[in-house]
Every structure is written in C-alpha cells, then in structure tokens.
Amino acid sequence: MKVFNGKQAAEDYMAAHTLTFSTPDLTLKRFSFWLGDIVPDPNNKEETMPRLMTYIEEKDFAPTQVIDDVKHFSFALKLAFLALRFDLNMNIES
C-alpha cells in the first residue's frame, strides 16, 4: 500500500522555512504549494515530478479485524439511562 509520509514532509518543510509573521492559514497554504513544487525525480534525473511524490512510501500493513457487531453507547445515553434508573428506584422506594 502506498502511504504519504506527512510527518517527514512537515519536518522537512519546517526545517527550511521560518514561521515569522505567519498565520496557520498562510503556513498551510505555503506548505501545500511547497508540496506541489516540481522537483527532479530522484530515480531519473531527466524527469521531474511534484515534491509530494517524494514522500510516498510503500508500506505493508497487517490486516486488521473489523468488528461491527459491538455496540458502543455514548456517554450522554449512559447518563440518561442511569438518571432514569435512579429516578425509578427513588419512586419505587417512596
């Protein structure tokens, strides 16, 4: 599976660029443009490619089991259930 190594790309970008007078929006835009820059292909110097492609790596991941039949209740639902149960217990004891 081909995977984008965003961590390495961000570290390389931050090492070469300063954040002086930069907003998060501007930094993200500049990073995006930087990834789109045309650079020489490391495998074939006569060809060019977007810098983004230099951060694509081939990785093998072990298959993971997907369990869809497990029910997960939200905290709000659990809280509502406990409140209702507590209220019913109080009414029964009264």
CB 28 within 8 A of CB 87: no
Q: Number of folded domains in the chain? A: 1
Domain that holds residue 19: 2-93
Task: Assess whether pLDDT exceeds 50 at residue 14.
Answer: yes
Tokens at residue 20, please? 């002086």
pLDDT for 24-78, tens place per residue? 888 899 999 999 999 999 888 899 999 999 999 998 877 777 776 666 667 777 7
Question: What is the structure's pLDDT at 94?
Answer: 47
| Residue 75: Cβ within 10 Å count | 7
